[in-house]
Amino acid sequence: METTVTKNLMTEGSIWKKITFFALPIFLGNLFQQMYNTADSLIVGNFLGSSALAAVSSSGNLIFLMIGFFNGISIGAGVVIARYFGARNKEKVETAVHTTVAFGLAASVVLTIVGVFFAPQILILMDTPANVLPESVTYFRIYFMGSLGFVMYNVFVGILQSVGDSKHPLYYLIISSIINVVLDLVFIAGFHYGVGAAALATTISQFVSAFLCMGQLMRTKEEYRLCLRKIRFDREMLGQIIRIGLPSGIQNSIIAIANVVVQSNINAFGETAMAGCGAYSKIEGFGFLPITSFTMALTTFVGQNLGAKQEERAKKGARFGILTTVVLAELIGVLIFIFASPLTRAFDSNPEVIMYGVARARTAALFFCLLAYSHAISAVLRGAGKSMVPMIVMLICWCVIRVTILVVFGKLVGKIDIVYWVYPITWGLSSIIFFIYYKKANWLNSFKE
Protein backbone atom coordinates (compact mmCIF):
# COMPACT_ATOMS: atom_id res chain seq x y z
CA MET A 1 0.00 0.00 0.00
CA GLU A 2 1.35 3.41 -1.03
CA THR A 3 1.99 5.79 1.88
CA THR A 4 1.44 9.55 1.86
CA VAL A 5 5.18 10.12 1.64
CA THR A 6 5.51 7.85 -1.39
CA LYS A 7 2.63 9.60 -3.14
CA ASN A 8 4.18 13.00 -2.51
CA LEU A 9 7.69 12.04 -3.62
CA MET A 10 8.58 13.40 -7.06
CA THR A 11 11.70 11.26 -7.35
CA GLU A 12 9.90 8.36 -9.03
CA GLY A 13 7.17 7.78 -11.60
CA SER A 14 6.30 9.61 -14.84
CA ILE A 15 8.01 13.00 -14.96
CA TRP A 16 5.31 14.87 -16.87
CA LYS A 17 2.55 13.38 -14.72
CA LYS A 18 4.31 14.22 -11.46
CA ILE A 19 4.89 17.83 -12.50
CA THR A 20 1.49 18.33 -14.15
CA PHE A 21 -0.61 16.75 -11.40
CA PHE A 22 1.36 18.62 -8.76
CA ALA A 23 0.96 21.90 -10.67
CA LEU A 24 -2.79 21.49 -11.27
CA PRO A 25 -3.90 21.92 -7.63
CA ILE A 26 -1.45 24.82 -7.31
CA PHE A 27 -3.06 26.42 -10.35
CA LEU A 28 -6.57 25.97 -8.96
CA GLY A 29 -5.41 27.26 -5.58
CA ASN A 30 -3.73 30.30 -7.13
CA LEU A 31 -6.87 30.84 -9.20
CA PHE A 32 -9.02 31.05 -6.11
CA GLN A 33 -6.46 33.26 -4.38
CA GLN A 34 -6.43 35.57 -7.39
CA MET A 35 -10.22 35.49 -7.33
CA TYR A 36 -10.48 36.84 -3.84
CA ASN A 37 -7.79 39.43 -4.57
CA THR A 38 -9.66 40.44 -7.72
CA ALA A 39 -12.98 40.41 -5.87
CA ASP A 40 -11.76 43.49 -4.01
CA SER A 41 -11.11 45.32 -7.27
CA LEU A 42 -14.30 44.18 -9.03
CA ILE A 43 -16.61 45.00 -6.15
CA VAL A 44 -14.78 48.20 -5.20
CA GLY A 45 -14.71 49.39 -8.83
CA ASN A 46 -18.38 48.69 -9.45
CA PHE A 47 -19.81 49.85 -6.11
CA LEU A 48 -17.38 52.55 -4.94
CA GLY A 49 -16.11 53.99 -8.27
CA SER A 50 -12.83 54.64 -10.08
CA SER A 51 -11.25 56.64 -7.27
CA ALA A 52 -11.65 53.76 -4.81
CA LEU A 53 -10.40 51.28 -7.43
CA ALA A 54 -7.34 53.46 -7.95
CA ALA A 55 -6.70 53.39 -4.18
CA VAL A 56 -6.79 49.59 -4.10
CA SER A 57 -4.70 49.29 -7.29
CA SER A 58 -2.02 51.71 -6.10
CA SER A 59 -1.51 49.64 -2.96
CA GLY A 60 -0.85 46.40 -4.87
CA ASN A 61 2.80 46.94 -5.78
CA LEU A 62 3.55 48.33 -2.33
CA ILE A 63 1.98 45.28 -0.67
CA PHE A 64 4.11 43.01 -2.85
CA LEU A 65 7.18 45.04 -1.90
CA MET A 66 6.44 44.52 1.78
CA ILE A 67 5.67 40.79 1.71
CA GLY A 68 7.84 39.79 -1.27
CA PHE A 69 11.08 39.73 0.72
CA PHE A 70 9.73 37.39 3.39
CA ASN A 71 7.99 35.20 0.83
CA GLY A 72 11.34 34.85 -0.92
CA ILE A 73 12.85 33.52 2.28
CA SER A 74 9.94 31.08 2.46
CA ILE A 75 10.85 29.87 -1.03
CA GLY A 76 14.34 29.14 0.25
CA ALA A 77 12.83 27.22 3.15
CA GLY A 78 10.74 25.18 0.71
CA VAL A 79 13.84 24.28 -1.31
CA VAL A 80 15.67 23.13 1.81
CA ILE A 81 12.69 21.05 2.99
CA ALA A 82 12.21 19.53 -0.49
CA ARG A 83 15.90 18.63 -0.58
CA TYR A 84 15.83 16.73 2.73
CA PHE A 85 12.42 15.22 1.97
CA GLY A 86 13.77 13.87 -1.33
CA ALA A 87 16.79 12.48 0.52
CA ARG A 88 14.41 10.90 3.12
CA ASN A 89 16.26 12.64 5.97
CA LYS A 90 13.45 12.79 8.57
CA GLU A 91 15.39 14.61 11.30
CA LYS A 92 16.44 17.44 8.97
CA VAL A 93 12.92 17.77 7.57
CA GLU A 94 11.52 18.21 11.08
CA THR A 95 14.16 20.79 11.99
CA ALA A 96 13.63 22.73 8.76
CA VAL A 97 9.84 22.85 9.22
CA HIS A 98 9.96 24.26 12.75
CA THR A 99 12.71 26.76 11.92
CA THR A 100 10.64 27.97 8.97
CA VAL A 101 7.56 28.48 11.16
CA ALA A 102 9.64 30.39 13.73
CA PHE A 103 10.92 32.65 10.97
CA GLY A 104 7.38 33.28 9.73
CA LEU A 105 6.20 34.37 13.18
CA ALA A 106 9.09 36.81 13.52
CA ALA A 107 8.49 38.19 10.01
CA SER A 108 4.80 38.77 10.81
CA VAL A 109 5.69 41.08 13.70
CA VAL A 110 8.09 43.12 11.57
CA LEU A 111 5.61 43.48 8.69
CA THR A 112 2.77 44.55 10.98
CA ILE A 113 4.86 47.33 12.57
CA VAL A 114 6.28 48.64 9.30
CA GLY A 115 3.02 48.41 7.34
CA VAL A 116 0.81 50.09 9.94
CA PHE A 117 3.14 52.90 11.00
CA PHE A 118 4.84 53.85 7.72
CA ALA A 119 1.97 53.51 5.22
CA PRO A 120 1.39 57.26 4.64
CA GLN A 121 5.06 58.10 4.13
CA ILE A 122 5.60 55.26 1.66
CA LEU A 123 2.47 56.06 -0.36
CA ILE A 124 3.45 59.74 -0.54
CA LEU A 125 6.91 58.75 -1.84
CA MET A 126 5.07 56.86 -4.60
CA ASP A 127 3.39 60.12 -5.70
CA THR A 128 -0.05 58.75 -4.89
CA PRO A 129 -2.56 61.49 -5.88
CA ALA A 130 -3.96 63.49 -2.97
CA ASN A 131 -7.56 62.49 -3.75
CA VAL A 132 -6.63 58.80 -3.62
CA LEU A 133 -4.17 58.92 -0.69
CA PRO A 134 -6.59 58.69 2.30
CA GLU A 135 -8.32 55.56 0.97
CA SER A 136 -4.97 54.00 -0.03
CA VAL A 137 -3.62 54.51 3.50
CA THR A 138 -6.77 52.97 5.01
CA TYR A 139 -6.61 49.92 2.73
CA PHE A 140 -2.88 49.46 3.31
CA ARG A 141 -3.03 49.72 7.11
CA ILE A 142 -5.95 47.35 7.56
CA TYR A 143 -4.33 44.85 5.19
CA PHE A 144 -1.09 44.83 7.19
CA MET A 145 -2.83 44.50 10.51
CA GLY A 146 -3.43 40.97 9.26
CA SER A 147 0.24 40.28 8.47
CA LEU A 148 0.26 37.22 10.72
CA GLY A 149 -2.47 35.61 8.63
CA PHE A 150 -1.01 36.00 5.17
CA VAL A 151 2.64 35.42 6.16
CA MET A 152 1.89 32.21 8.05
CA TYR A 153 -0.44 31.04 5.28
CA ASN A 154 2.42 31.37 2.77
CA VAL A 155 4.80 29.62 5.17
CA PHE A 156 2.43 26.69 5.74
CA VAL A 157 1.62 26.33 2.05
CA GLY A 158 5.33 26.43 1.22
CA ILE A 159 5.95 23.54 3.62
CA LEU A 160 3.10 21.45 2.22
CA GLN A 161 4.13 22.06 -1.38
CA SER A 162 7.79 21.30 -0.69
CA VAL A 163 6.82 17.77 0.40
CA GLY A 164 4.61 17.32 -2.65
CA ASP A 165 1.20 18.13 -1.13
CA SER A 166 -0.52 20.67 -3.36
CA LYS A 167 -4.09 19.42 -2.78
CA HIS A 168 -4.79 20.51 0.79
CA PRO A 169 -3.80 24.16 0.14
CA LEU A 170 -6.30 24.07 -2.75
CA TYR A 171 -9.15 22.90 -0.52
CA TYR A 172 -8.44 25.58 2.05
CA LEU A 173 -8.13 28.33 -0.54
CA ILE A 174 -11.54 27.46 -1.99
CA ILE A 175 -13.06 27.89 1.46
CA SER A 176 -11.28 31.18 2.19
CA SER A 177 -12.05 32.55 -1.30
CA ILE A 178 -15.77 31.99 -0.81
CA ILE A 179 -15.56 33.69 2.59
CA ASN A 180 -13.72 36.67 1.07
CA VAL A 181 -16.21 37.21 -1.75
CA VAL A 182 -19.19 36.89 0.61
CA LEU A 183 -17.65 39.37 3.07
CA ASP A 184 -16.85 41.81 0.23
CA LEU A 185 -20.45 41.75 -0.92
CA VAL A 186 -21.81 42.09 2.62
CA PHE A 187 -19.45 44.90 3.70
CA ILE A 188 -19.39 46.93 0.47
CA ALA A 189 -22.49 46.10 -1.58
CA GLY A 190 -24.69 45.50 1.48
CA PHE A 191 -23.51 47.93 4.18
CA HIS A 192 -21.77 50.38 1.78
CA TYR A 193 -18.55 50.51 3.77
CA GLY A 194 -15.40 51.95 2.12
CA VAL A 195 -12.20 50.36 0.78
CA GLY A 196 -11.09 49.44 4.29
CA ALA A 197 -13.82 46.81 4.32
CA ALA A 198 -12.28 45.14 1.25
CA ALA A 199 -8.94 44.89 3.07
CA LEU A 200 -10.68 43.53 6.18
CA ALA A 201 -12.47 40.85 4.14
CA THR A 202 -9.16 39.75 2.61
CA THR A 203 -7.47 39.68 6.02
CA ILE A 204 -10.20 37.55 7.60
CA SER A 205 -10.12 35.03 4.75
CA GLN A 206 -6.30 34.80 4.95
CA PHE A 207 -6.49 33.93 8.64
CA VAL A 208 -9.03 31.21 7.88
CA SER A 209 -6.79 29.58 5.27
CA ALA A 210 -3.72 29.91 7.54
CA PHE A 211 -5.47 28.12 10.41
CA LEU A 212 -6.69 25.36 8.10
CA CYS A 213 -3.17 24.77 6.74
CA MET A 214 -1.73 24.78 10.25
CA GLY A 215 -4.30 22.19 11.30
CA GLN A 216 -3.29 19.92 8.43
CA LEU A 217 0.39 20.14 9.39
CA MET A 218 -0.43 19.37 13.02
CA ARG A 219 -2.60 16.36 12.11
CA THR A 220 -0.24 14.61 9.72
CA LYS A 221 1.72 11.59 10.92
CA GLU A 222 4.66 12.22 8.56
CA GLU A 223 8.04 13.75 9.38
CA TYR A 224 6.90 17.24 8.40
CA ARG A 225 4.33 17.28 11.22
CA LEU A 226 4.10 20.61 13.06
CA CYS A 227 4.42 20.49 16.84
CA LEU A 228 3.93 23.88 18.51
CA ARG A 229 6.35 23.21 21.37
CA LYS A 230 9.14 22.43 18.87
CA ILE A 231 8.92 25.80 17.09
CA ARG A 232 12.33 27.42 17.48
CA PHE A 233 15.28 28.67 15.45
CA ASP A 234 17.99 26.16 14.59
CA ARG A 235 21.08 28.19 13.73
CA GLU A 236 22.49 25.82 11.12
CA MET A 237 19.13 25.26 9.41
CA LEU A 238 18.29 28.96 9.48
CA GLY A 239 21.65 29.59 7.80
CA GLN A 240 20.74 27.22 4.97
CA ILE A 241 17.29 28.77 4.57
CA ILE A 242 18.71 32.30 4.52
CA ARG A 243 21.51 31.35 2.12
CA ILE A 244 19.05 29.96 -0.43
CA GLY A 245 16.08 32.19 0.37
CA LEU A 246 17.75 35.57 0.81
CA PRO A 247 18.52 36.02 -2.92
CA SER A 248 14.89 35.14 -3.72
CA GLY A 249 13.68 37.62 -1.12
CA ILE A 250 15.96 40.34 -2.47
CA GLN A 251 14.84 39.45 -6.00
CA ASN A 252 11.17 39.89 -5.02
CA SER A 253 11.96 43.20 -3.35
CA ILE A 254 13.98 44.39 -6.34
CA ILE A 255 11.12 43.63 -8.72
CA ALA A 256 8.68 45.27 -6.33
CA ILE A 257 10.82 48.41 -6.02
CA ALA A 258 11.00 48.68 -9.80
CA ASN A 259 7.22 48.19 -10.00
CA VAL A 260 6.73 50.91 -7.38
CA VAL A 261 8.73 53.25 -9.65
CA VAL A 262 6.53 52.16 -12.56
CA GLN A 263 3.42 52.76 -10.45
CA SER A 264 4.69 56.24 -9.62
CA ASN A 265 4.95 56.96 -13.35
CA ILE A 266 1.42 55.66 -13.87
CA ASN A 267 0.14 57.77 -10.96
CA ALA A 268 1.38 60.89 -12.74
CA PHE A 269 -1.26 60.33 -15.45
CA GLY A 270 -4.15 60.45 -12.98
CA GLU A 271 -6.69 58.12 -11.41
CA THR A 272 -8.17 56.79 -14.67
CA ALA A 273 -4.71 55.63 -15.76
CA MET A 274 -4.21 54.08 -12.31
CA ALA A 275 -7.57 52.30 -12.51
CA GLY A 276 -7.00 51.08 -16.10
CA CYS A 277 -3.49 49.77 -15.44
CA GLY A 278 -4.68 48.26 -12.16
CA ALA A 279 -7.42 46.40 -14.01
CA TYR A 280 -4.88 45.09 -16.52
CA SER A 281 -2.65 43.91 -13.67
CA LYS A 282 -5.51 41.79 -12.35
CA ILE A 283 -6.11 40.34 -15.83
CA GLU A 284 -2.41 39.56 -16.20
CA GLY A 285 -2.43 37.99 -12.76
CA PHE A 286 -5.18 35.59 -13.81
CA GLY A 287 -3.56 34.87 -17.18
CA PHE A 288 -0.21 34.04 -15.66
CA LEU A 289 -1.52 31.60 -13.05
CA PRO A 290 -0.79 28.42 -15.06
CA ILE A 291 2.79 29.59 -15.60
CA THR A 292 3.29 30.40 -11.92
CA SER A 293 1.90 26.97 -11.02
CA PHE A 294 4.32 25.13 -13.30
CA THR A 295 7.31 27.12 -12.04
CA MET A 296 6.42 26.33 -8.42
CA ALA A 297 6.15 22.65 -9.35
CA LEU A 298 9.51 22.88 -11.12
CA THR A 299 11.26 24.21 -8.01
CA THR A 300 9.90 21.36 -5.86
CA PHE A 301 10.64 18.73 -8.53
CA VAL A 302 14.24 19.84 -9.04
CA GLY A 303 14.84 20.23 -5.28
CA GLN A 304 13.55 16.74 -4.42
CA ASN A 305 15.37 15.00 -7.27
CA LEU A 306 18.71 16.69 -6.66
CA GLY A 307 18.30 15.90 -2.97
CA ALA A 308 17.86 12.25 -4.01
CA LYS A 309 20.90 12.60 -6.34
CA GLN A 310 18.83 11.96 -9.47
CA GLU A 311 20.47 14.60 -11.65
CA GLU A 312 19.34 13.23 -15.03
CA ARG A 313 15.70 13.06 -13.89
CA ALA A 314 15.94 16.66 -12.63
CA LYS A 315 17.30 17.73 -16.02
CA LYS A 316 14.48 16.02 -17.96
CA GLY A 317 11.85 17.54 -15.67
CA ALA A 318 13.34 20.99 -16.10
CA ARG A 319 13.24 20.64 -19.89
CA PHE A 320 9.57 19.60 -19.84
CA GLY A 321 8.60 22.38 -17.42
CA ILE A 322 10.34 25.15 -19.34
CA LEU A 323 8.76 24.16 -22.66
CA THR A 324 5.29 23.83 -21.15
CA THR A 325 5.37 27.22 -19.42
CA VAL A 326 6.55 29.06 -22.54
CA VAL A 327 3.87 27.53 -24.81
CA LEU A 328 1.11 28.08 -22.24
CA ALA A 329 2.14 31.69 -21.68
CA GLU A 330 2.03 32.59 -25.35
CA LEU A 331 -1.40 31.00 -25.85
CA ILE A 332 -2.75 32.95 -22.87
CA GLY A 333 -1.13 36.15 -24.14
CA VAL A 334 -2.90 35.82 -27.49
CA LEU A 335 -6.27 35.38 -25.75
CA ILE A 336 -5.71 38.46 -23.54
CA PHE A 337 -4.68 40.47 -26.61
CA ILE A 338 -7.92 39.54 -28.39
CA PHE A 339 -10.31 40.00 -25.45
CA ALA A 340 -8.58 42.95 -23.71
CA SER A 341 -11.56 45.30 -24.04
CA PRO A 342 -14.33 43.19 -22.47
CA LEU A 343 -11.95 41.94 -19.78
CA THR A 344 -11.07 45.51 -18.74
CA ARG A 345 -14.71 46.58 -18.90
CA ALA A 346 -15.53 43.98 -16.24
CA PHE A 347 -13.59 46.08 -13.73
CA ASP A 348 -14.70 49.56 -14.75
CA SER A 349 -17.12 50.80 -17.43
CA ASN A 350 -15.43 54.22 -17.68
CA PRO A 351 -14.29 54.50 -21.36
CA GLU A 352 -11.04 56.21 -20.41
CA VAL A 353 -10.19 53.49 -17.89
CA ILE A 354 -10.89 50.85 -20.56
CA MET A 355 -8.66 52.69 -23.01
CA TYR A 356 -5.69 52.59 -20.64
CA GLY A 357 -6.25 48.94 -19.73
CA VAL A 358 -6.57 47.79 -23.36
CA ALA A 359 -3.49 49.77 -24.46
CA ARG A 360 -1.33 48.16 -21.81
CA ALA A 361 -2.70 44.67 -22.51
CA ARG A 362 -2.07 44.91 -26.23
CA THR A 363 1.49 46.09 -25.67
CA ALA A 364 2.56 43.35 -23.25
CA ALA A 365 0.42 40.25 -23.82
CA LEU A 366 2.15 38.89 -26.93
CA PHE A 367 5.48 38.91 -25.07
CA PHE A 368 4.31 36.63 -22.24
CA CYS A 369 6.55 33.84 -23.60
CA LEU A 370 9.61 35.88 -22.59
CA LEU A 371 8.31 36.46 -19.08
CA ALA A 372 7.49 32.76 -18.75
CA TYR A 373 10.94 31.68 -19.89
CA SER A 374 12.64 33.91 -17.31
CA HIS A 375 10.41 32.61 -14.54
CA ALA A 376 10.91 28.97 -15.55
CA ILE A 377 14.71 29.19 -15.58
CA SER A 378 14.62 31.03 -12.24
CA ALA A 379 12.48 28.23 -10.77
CA VAL A 380 14.89 25.53 -11.95
CA LEU A 381 17.91 27.38 -10.56
CA ARG A 382 16.18 28.01 -7.21
CA GLY A 383 15.34 24.32 -6.95
CA ALA A 384 19.01 23.56 -7.56
CA GLY A 385 20.04 25.95 -4.78
CA LYS A 386 21.46 28.57 -7.16
CA SER A 387 19.06 31.38 -6.25
CA MET A 388 21.83 34.00 -6.47
CA VAL A 389 21.82 33.84 -10.29
CA PRO A 390 18.14 34.82 -10.77
CA MET A 391 18.62 37.59 -8.21
CA ILE A 392 21.52 39.13 -10.15
CA VAL A 393 19.74 38.86 -13.51
CA MET A 394 16.55 40.42 -12.11
CA LEU A 395 18.55 43.16 -10.40
CA ILE A 396 20.17 44.12 -13.69
CA CYS A 397 17.22 43.70 -16.06
CA TRP A 398 14.04 44.17 -14.05
CA CYS A 399 15.29 46.89 -11.74
CA VAL A 400 18.32 48.85 -12.96
CA ILE A 401 17.53 48.81 -16.69
CA ARG A 402 13.75 49.15 -16.18
CA VAL A 403 14.10 52.13 -13.86
CA THR A 404 16.80 53.71 -16.06
CA ILE A 405 14.54 53.56 -19.11
CA LEU A 406 11.72 55.22 -17.20
CA VAL A 407 13.95 57.92 -15.70
CA VAL A 408 15.75 58.72 -18.97
CA PHE A 409 12.91 58.39 -21.46
CA GLY A 410 9.80 58.83 -19.28
CA LYS A 411 9.78 62.60 -19.10
CA LEU A 412 11.42 62.92 -22.52
CA VAL A 413 8.63 60.98 -24.25
CA GLY A 414 5.90 62.31 -21.99
CA LYS A 415 3.53 59.47 -22.82
CA ILE A 416 2.36 56.50 -20.79
CA ASP A 417 3.38 54.17 -23.64
CA ILE A 418 6.94 54.08 -22.27
CA VAL A 419 5.53 52.47 -19.11
CA TYR A 420 3.81 49.81 -21.20
CA TRP A 421 6.91 48.96 -23.24
CA VAL A 422 9.41 48.84 -20.38
CA TYR A 423 8.12 45.40 -19.36
CA PRO A 424 8.52 43.49 -22.67
CA ILE A 425 11.93 45.09 -23.21
CA THR A 426 13.29 43.94 -19.84
CA TRP A 427 11.63 40.51 -20.13
CA GLY A 428 13.51 40.03 -23.40
CA LEU A 429 16.86 41.05 -21.90
CA SER A 430 16.51 38.70 -18.92
CA SER A 431 15.49 35.82 -21.21
CA ILE A 432 18.62 36.27 -23.34
CA ILE A 433 20.88 36.22 -20.27
CA PHE A 434 19.11 33.19 -18.77
CA PHE A 435 19.33 31.32 -22.09
CA ILE A 436 23.09 31.83 -22.30
CA TYR A 437 23.66 30.91 -18.64
CA TYR A 438 21.43 27.83 -18.72
CA LYS A 439 23.20 26.44 -21.78
CA LYS A 440 26.71 26.99 -20.44
CA ALA A 441 26.50 26.53 -16.65
CA ASN A 442 26.53 23.20 -14.83
CA TRP A 443 23.68 23.80 -12.40
CA LEU A 444 23.06 20.09 -11.70
CA ASN A 445 26.00 19.67 -9.31
CA SER A 446 25.21 22.77 -7.25
CA PHE A 447 23.22 20.95 -4.56
CA LYS A 448 25.90 19.04 -2.69
CA GLU A 449 26.17 18.45 1.05
Q: What does the pLDDT look like over 94-150, one tens digit per residue?
A: 999 999 999 999 989 998 998 888 878 877 876 777 777 888 888 888 888 888 998
pLDDT of residue 339: 95
Which stretches of the chain drop beneath a pLDDT of 50? 1-4, 447, 449
Which secondary structure element, helix H or strand E, spans residue 109, and what is its range?
Answer: helix 90-125
SS3 for 164-191 is: CCCHHHHHHHHHHHHHHHHHHHHHHHHC
pLDDT of residue 360: 93
Please classify residue 173 by burial: count the beta carbons closer than 10 Å to its beta carbon, then call 0-12 exposed, 13-18 middle and 19+ buried.
buried
pLDDT of residue 1: 39
**What beta strand segments (E) does 199-356 contain?**
none
pLDDT of residue 342: 93
pLDDT, tens digit (0-9, with 9 covering 90-100), for 177-194? 888 888 988 988 888 787
pLDDT of residue 57: 67
pLDDT of residue 446: 52
| 182-188 CB contacts, 8 Å cutoff, 24+ apart | 184/39, 184/40, 184/43, 185/43, 188/43, 188/44, 188/47, 188/48
pLDDT, tens digit (0-9, with 9 covering 90-100), for 235-256? 999 998 888 888 888 877 777 7
pLDDT of residue 83: 87
pLDDT of residue 2: 47
pTM reported for the whole predicted model = 0.76
